[in-house]
Structures are given as C-alpha cells and as structure tokens.
Amino acid sequence: MLAQKQAEEAIVSNFSEAHDHEGKEDHHQDKEEENTSLFNVKNFLWHGGSVWDAWFSCASNQVAQVLLTLPYSFSQLGLLSGILLQIFYGIVGSWTAYLISVLYIEFRSRKEKENVNFKNHVIQWFEVLDGLLGPYWKAVGLAFNCTFLLFGSVIQLIACASNIYYINDHLDKRTWTYIFGACCATTVFIPSFHNYRIWSFLGLGMTTYTAWYLTIAAVVHGQKEGVTHTAPTKLVLYFTGATNILYTFGGHAVTVEIMHAMWKPQKFKYIYLFATVYVFTLTIPSATSVYWAFGDELLNHSNAFSLLPKNAWRDAAVILMLIHQFITFGFACTPLYFVWEKVIGMHDTKSICLRALARLPVVIPIWFLAIIFPFFGPINSAVGALLVSFTVYIIPSLAHMLTYRKASARQNAAEKPPFFLPNWTGMYVMNSFIVVWVLVIGFGFGGWASMTNFVRQVDTFGLFAKCYQCKSPKPLPAAAAPHH
C-alpha cells in the first residue's frame, strides 16, 4: 500500500512538474518581456493564463444575454421557483464543470506519461472523451458540443439585433443581424483563449453594469399600474422557463479550452463555482426586480430592455451588452474554429491571417441560422433542453462514472474525490442523480415544453421573421383610409 501511495504521489507530482515546465517554456518569452518592462502592454492585454484569467473567462462567459431573458423566465416560473432553480442549477453546473476539469487532468496526466507534447495543440472536450472512453464517446461529445456552440453563437447574433433595435429602430432586426454577423466574423483573428484576457475582464464589467442597471431601473420605475404576478399557470411555460435557467448555468462547453489556456490547469477545480457565486449576485437581483415591476407583461417581452424607459442609462447598458455579446460570440466560436482547423489540417499554422481565412466558413452557417430563427428567448430554452442537458450535465456525469468504473482506475486516479465526498460511492450517487434529473426534467419535460413554445413562435411569426416582437405598426387614421 505504501509503495502504491508513493507511485500515485509521483504521478501527480510529475504532472504538476510537467505543467510548470511547459508553462515556463510556453511563456518564457513573455516573462523576459515582463522583466524588461513591468507594464508591458502586449502581455497585459493579450497573454492570459492565470487563475484570475480563468475566473474572468468563466464568469464573463456565463452571463451574457441571459440577463435579459431571466425576467421572462421568472414570469413563466414565478418568483420562488425562479430563485430556487437558479441556485440548484448553479450548483449542479459547478459540479459538472468540476467533473470536466477532473477528466481533463486525468487525460492529460495519462498522455504526459506517454510523452505526448501539446505545445502546438489545444486539447478539446471530444479529445478527452476519446482518450478516456474511445471513439464512440468522441463522436457523441463532438456532435453535441459543436451543435451547442453553433447555436450558442447564433443566440448571440440574435441578441445583438434584438438589443440594438431599442436604440435605433430605423432598421429592422433582420438587417441588424446582417450587420452584426459581419462584425462578429472578425473574431476569426483571435488565436485562442490565451488572448481573451482583457476581453474577459471588460466583459464581466459590462454585464455587472447591465445587471445593476436592470435592478435599479426596475426599482425606480416601480410596479406598473395593475401589475399581476400569476405564474406559474401552465406546465408548458413552467418547464420552458426552467430550461432557460438550465441553459444559463450550462455555459461550460468551453471549460476544457479555458483550462488548456491556463499555465497550471490543475488549479481550475473550483473556479467555476466561485464564478457562479458571483453570477448569482447579478442574475437574482435583476430578474427579481424586473419581474416585481412588470409581472405578467414579461410573458410577451422576452427582452427586459423592451419594458424599461428609454434614457441614457438604458442606452449605455444596451451598448455594453452589444460589446459583451461580441466577446461571447468569440468564446462560443473559438472551439468551433479549433475543430474546423483540425479537420482541414490548419491547426498548427502559425500565421494568424491564414488561420483567420480558414475559419471564415464557420461563421456563415451561424449567420444564416440567426436569420432563420430570430426568436430571442424561446431559442434559449430549446437549446438548453436539447443540447445543454447532454453536453454540460449528462455526458460529463456519465463519462466520469465510466472512466472510474474499475478499481484500478480509481486507485490510480490523478484526482481523488473532493473533501466533501470522501469516497467514490458518494461521487456515483451524485452523478447518477444528475443524469436522471436532467434526463427526465431537463431533456424530457423541458424538451417538450421548449419545443412546443418554439413551434408556437414559428407559427406566429414565421421563419425568417423580419422583426420578432417589434412594436406593431401604427394604424392609419380614419381620414387617411383609402376610399372604395
């Protein structure tokens, strides 16, 4: 037993040393530049790989346009369910992000022992599944992850068009989608998650401003005359709202890429949990106050901006959210860029311009889908139920159970169970509960409800809707009506 314990400690130690050595190699030039100039702009803005960078990336990526749809979800769920489900899915999401980090470390420690070098290769989630469980799991992980990230990018484009319309309604939302599709295509020039340091920092500041603007503006506005709070009233609406919250805390489809960008990935374990706790301070007050002020009226206004009075504060929040959605588009698209580069053999290319040119075909289908399905709000729930439920919750839980199903795998595990679950049985119970809950409630009931709601939007507004949930045109005055 003593020899076995020493062997396990040696594996973990070698893994840490390998990462330290790799981190020193990869960032040796950066460190030299830092010694030359303490305030080197390039390093400060461009090269990020610390624990803080990862925290900013997780927190910034988790809250984007969902801030604007959560009041809509509260109008479907009711206040109590809305708050409780946020806390529940926040904890569950943090747990599965922890599982993904454990599996990444396990995969990488095994490859390190085989002397595999990842210096010019970004590890992705489907490669972790392939290395630990085989090609079938790789195919499943690749399919769900890429589809989720594709629609996650689509949602950002829809949100951009929806938001800018509240500042300038001279153009319809579809035209704005064309414009922002072109703007977001410039993310092809950002090489990897190392280079999102300043963007993640600014992005979180922007969502923090927007969340507190929503909170304060709703309180200052006060309750609308005759406001009602009748939710929950229908099962379809209830489970649609619930899956939107499941989607809110399922933003870790890019966890592996964020970890790989860290200088010491083994420090990631609880970063997502700390990011989620901060996110609670943004989502719960803003959704609660807007729902308190407008109540059931939100059922027909999936974007909270549409109900708040137009002024300089709201315009500032809209502009900041537009910038943040550009950043989040890059977050969602970058893993897709990596996959595409690997498919066409361009992943090792050092030229940024060549890689950017190769990445452009990824943006085109995203642009097209945003024009076909411009349903801000309902599309979040559909993506949450059908894609996030598997990508973020079910697959990581099943993968963890299968990776450590053998006693030898548990004994030689690079990461042991956390301190609050001192044995493997507790891990299996927790993972099994998540699989069953999300499969039945998230995918089953949530899928039924969100698709019912989504089809209803298609029937009401049609595909390629020119201006979804825009103000209705003013009727002609009686005197101007044509004579027959």
Query: 128-165, pLDDT tens digit by residue?
Result: 999 999 999 999 998 998 888 888 888 888 877 777 87
User: pLDDT value at position 7?
Assistant: 47
Query: Looking at the predicted structure, is the pLDDT value of residue 366 above 70?
Result: yes
Q: Residues 167-176: what's their mean pLDDT?
A: 74
- What is the model's pLDDT at position 381? 73
The rounded percent of the chain whose pLDDT value lies above 70 is: 81
Question: Shortest CA distance to 293 belongs to which of 232, 211, 225?
Answer: 225
What value does the mean pLDDT of the chain take? 80
> pLDDT confidence of 481, banded at 50, 70, 90?
very low
Asked if residue 479 has pLDDT above 70, the reply is no
d(CA 97, CA 131): 18
Res. 166 pLDDT band, cuts 50 70 90: confident
pLDDT computed for residue 85 by the predictor: 94
Out of 23-27, 301-305, 369-373, least confident range: 23-27
Which of 31-35, 100-104, 189-193, 445-449 is the least confident region? 31-35
Residue 474 has pLDDT above 80, yes or no: no
Q: What is the mean pLDDT of residues 43-60?
A: 74
pLDDT band, very low/low/confident/very high, at 467 (cuts 50, 70, 90)? low
Mean pLDDT of 393-422: 90
CA nearest to 233, candidates 283, 290, 299: 299
Q: What is the pLDDT of residues 246-281, one digit of tens each?
A: 888 876 667 887 887 788 888 888 888 999 999 999
Local confidence band at 194 (pLDDT 50, 70, 90 cut-offs): low
The pLDDT assigned to 378 comes to 67
Q: Does the pLDDT at position 347 exceed 80?
A: no
Top pLDDT among 467 and 111 is at 111
Q: In this structure, what is the dihedral angle of CA atoms 432, 143, 410, 423, given to the nearest 10 degrees?
A: -30
pTM over 0.85: no
Q: Choose the weakest-confidence range: 285-294, 315-324, 458-467.
A: 458-467
pLDDT confidence bin for 40, thresholds 50/70/90: low
Of 334, 201, 188, nearest to 260 by C-alpha is 334
Kindly state the percentage of the chain with pLDDT values over 90.
27
Average pLDDT estimate for 327-354: 82
Q: Which pLDDT does position 43 carry in this prediction?
A: 55
When pLDDT is cut at 50, 70 and 90, the band that residue 170 belongs to is confident
